[in-house]
Structures are given as structure tokens and as C-alpha cells.
Structure 1
């Protein structure tokens, strides 16, 4: 091999990893009435590594009604810590917006425009145990061996509209009425919060893909409350690597 061919070979093998796409759709139904509420369409771009699929950007569009109207959108950007993405969420029907941004290594800002209220802004100090929004999915996959072994994993979960984070635990939920290969729940560790916040139930298949979500959503039922829903997910495009390591 001549010198130019060797250089080309090195560039080809050491260049940027090709982007991979992971696409899935969730159908949300009311826990109370079992009627369909909306559909959420996810597109995640990322790269494949020894640790499995690593997300970089994630877009969710929310649709409902016979005209398939898009009524909300969310974008997430994952950095070095996929369980803590930055978030931009818009729900124009209620004039609501939410942005979560990182300002330095241990501080983030929350800019929330609630329906029919003044804008609220918070600055939050956090630790490496923090999980944000859909980052719970990455947290589960990053700890997949412990999750499937039935271990309990403590973490902090951001409550952006409160401007704070609280102690939660990820643990098995064998009694939950969800038909999935792996069924777990996220519940608060505080006794007081347990009376106020119901656990979130999650179902996964054996490959680490989310199949079910049951709990409070970020989609509003009205100006005062959000929907509590059971969301069933189906994959339309799988990345070219395993989701877990």
C-alpha cells in the first residue's frame, strides 16, 4: 500500500461515526376512560459505541384528532450525560413553554411560561445523580444489567415547574398490570411525596426498548391539570446497534 492509500485508510477508519436514527411512536390513552388522547412521534439521532446507542438529539411531535393536528413539540439535546438533556417544550394550545438549559457544570436554568400566569425562572444546583425528563430512559439503559437483575437504583428527578429536584428510586414493579418483558417503577422516596405523586410504571422489552409508560404526562388536560395516561410504544426504525451495552 502506498503512502496516499495508507492516509486514506486512516481517515476512513478514524473519521466521525455515522449517525444512526431511532424512531418510535407512542399512543396515549386515558387511564380513567381508556379513550385515545393523542399520539407522540419520536425521532432520535445518535451514534453507536461500545456502550450501545448513544443519543444526541431527540424530537417529539404530539398529534391528535381526525386531522392529525400537531399540538405540541419537544426537543432534547444530549451531552456527555444522556440522563440530563437540555429541553425545549412548546404547547401552544395553552400558551405554555418550558426550557431547561445548562449554565455550567453543576447549575441549570428553568424558564417556564405557565398558562395564563407570569413567566417563572429558576436556577437549580444539581449533582451527578440528577435525571431530567426523557433522560429516565437513558438512565434505565445505562443501568440495564442492574435493572434486569431486580436492583433498586436511587436518583434525583427534576421537577421543572417547581424549580427543584427530589429523591426517587427505580425499582421492580412485578404487580403492575403491564405486559412487558421488564416492568419497573419510578417512585418518590419521601413519605410526603408518596401521598402526592403516584409511581410511574415503565415497561421494556428484552432489548432495552421502552414499550409502556403509565403515569402523569407533560400534556395538559386543561389549564390546571395534566393527563395521566397509559402510552404504548412501537418501533418503526431501530438504530444499527444494540440500545444497551
Structure 2
């Protein structure tokens, strides 16, 4: 009987780690008028390991005002490659949905239902440099020492509604528009895209938590355009381990 009790205690001690939660809220304001646009509630569940916090699932709920109905939501599933989560996004007010799944090891499938248009499907091949959606946040933290050292990091970024990915670089940015401990920007490397796509500016605190996002969002202003916003984040709950190493 004693041997069974000891064995049971061993199983409990070496079983799956308890889930950890990382929660934060973002308030999005218009770049031009400073008007409050919406609020984002983020909840990331995952586990702590020797590598720090490892995200598993990330849910985002969008509200026009605190306590108002949820007008959009997104779920991300992080697997073996946190830079490339699967994505499910719904914006019911515009009858828009977007799903990103990995059909093969080096191929993903995008199913997009645009507002008032026929659905579209893309099959996209990729390599290990690809970053998808909020995977940019994991990309920053996975390269934290290089980021705070001021290095430039090239990668490929998925443009799901175009069914393709493009060359981008993560690099230091001036702190003129964002007051954060660490300020970086994501900008396209193609000269043509630089004229069409403004850089996304990101701010982080010393713990590696996102504090600012300034740029194009996935939330629609109308059927033709998305909001460009400055989103300020505050952490509600940190996980029980470091976000970065």
C-alpha cells in the first residue's frame, strides 16, 4: 500500500504542469481624432517551462464600450511553432470570418468570407521564417535579447486577405510617438510595399509585455477599410513565470 501511495505522489508531481494565465486589455484610439474606437480583452493560457511562458490558446474579445456586447472575437491556437498560430476571427457586424489552418507541414489554408462578397480560399506554402497574426508578439519575445540589443530581424509576414506573405523586418524605432521601455517597428522590406504599407510601431515594457500598438488593425471601420489606431495595453495578470528569457 505504501508503494502505491508513493507511486501516486510521483505521478502527481511529474504530471502536466498547471495552466498559467496571461491577461491584458487594450484601448484603441483613432490616430487622427484620439476618439475611443473599441476595447480588446486578451486572455492567453499556457504553461511555464525552462523557456519561460509557452502560450497554448489566446482569445480576444472586442467591445465598443466596457460592458457592451462583444462585436468581434478571435481565437488563436499556438502549437509547436508559436510564431504561426492557427486563427479563427469573426466580425458579425460585417458578416466577415477568417480562418487560418495548417493543412500540411509547409502549407496553410486561408478561408476568408469578406463583407458582401463571395468566400475566398487560399493555399499558401511557407518556410520557417513565416510569422502569422499575433505570432509577431511571440516572435519579439523569442528574440528578446536581440531586440533589446537593437538588432534588425528579417521575417515573412502573412497577409491573409491577399493569400500571400511578404518580407518584413523588425527593427528599433524612435520613441517620438510611443512612450515605452522598448520601441520597435515592423516594416516591409520591398520598396514598393513601403509606399503602400506604413510601419507598425510596437512598445514593450521591460518584462516583455506589449504596451503599445500603432498601425493598421484587423477591425473594420466600414466595408472597405480597417481602422488604423493607437492601442494602449495594460496587464491584468502576468503568468507565474517570465515572458522572456
Question: Same-fold call, TM > 0.5?
Answer: yes
Alignment partners' CA distance in 1, 2:208 and 2:127:
26
Corresponding residue for residue 98 of structure 2: 98
Cα offset, 1:68, TM superposition: 1.5
Alignment partners' CA distance in 2, 1:20 and 1:153:
29
Alignment partners' CA distance in 2, 1:50 and 1:17:
12
Cα offset, 1:177, TM superposition: 1.4
Corresponding residue for residue 128 of structure 1: 128
Alignment partners' CA distance in 2, 1:99 and 1:177:
33
Gaps in structure 1 of 5+ consecutive residues: none
Corresponding residue for residue 211 of structure 2: 211
Cα RMSD for the two superposed structures:
1.3
Cα offset, 1:66, TM superposition: 7.2
Kindly report structure 1 stretches of 4+ aligned residues shifted beyond 2 Å: 2-6
Per the alignment, do residues 28 and 166 of structure 1 end up closer, same or farther by CA in structure 2, a change over 3 Å counting?
same
Are 1:163 and 2:166 counterparts?
no
Cα offset, 1:220, TM superposition: 0.3
Q: What is the number of equivalent residue pairs in this alignment?
A: 245
Alignment partners' CA distance in 2, 1:42 and 1:179:
22
1:176/1:183 contact within 8 Å kept? no
Alignment partners' CA distance in 1, 2:59 and 2:207:
22
2:140/2:147 contact within 8 Å kept? yes
Cα offset, 1:228, TM superposition: 0.2
Cα offset, 1:6, TM superposition: 3.2
Cα offset, 1:5, TM superposition: 3.9
Alignment partners' CA distance in 1, 2:234 and 2:66:
21
Corresponding residue for residue 51 of structure 1: 51
> Where in structure 2 are the equivalents of 1:24-103 lying within 5 Å?
24-65=24-65, 68-103=68-103
Tell me the secondary structure at the aligned position of residue 108 of structure 1.
Answer: strand
Tell me the secondary structure at the aligned position of residue 102 of structure 2.
Answer: strand
Alignment partners' CA distance in 2, 1:45 and 1:195:
38
Tell me the secondary structure at the aligned position of residue 55 of structure 1.
Answer: strand
Comparing 173-182 with 210-219, which one deviates more in the overlay?
173-182
Per the alignment, do residues 65 and 239 of structure 1 end up closer, same or farther by CA in structure 2, a change over 3 Å counting?
closer
1:176/1:201 contact within 8 Å kept? no
* CA deviation vs aligned residue, 1:116-151 (integer Å, no higher than 9, x gap): 111000000010100000000000000000000000
Cα offset, 1:14, TM superposition: 1.4
Corresponding residue for residue 110 of structure 2: 110
Per the alignment, do residues 48 and 66 of structure 1 end up closer, same or farther by CA in structure 2, a change over 3 Å counting?
closer
Tell me the secondary structure at the aligned position of residue 150 of structure 1.
Answer: coil
* CA deviation vs aligned residue, 1:156-199 (integer Å, no higher than 9, x gap): 00000000000000000024410000000000000000000000
Corresponding residue for residue 186 of structure 1: 186
2:39/2:66 contact within 8 Å kept? no
Gaps in structure 2 of 5+ consecutive residues: none
Are 1:152 and 2:127 counterparts?
no
Alignment partners' CA distance in 1, 2:12 and 2:65:
48
Are 1:197 and 2:193 counterparts?
no
Per the alignment, do residues 61 and 27 of structure 1 end up closer, same or farther by CA in structure 2, a change over 3 Å counting?
same
Tell me the secondary structure at the aligned position of residue 9 of structure 1.
Answer: helix
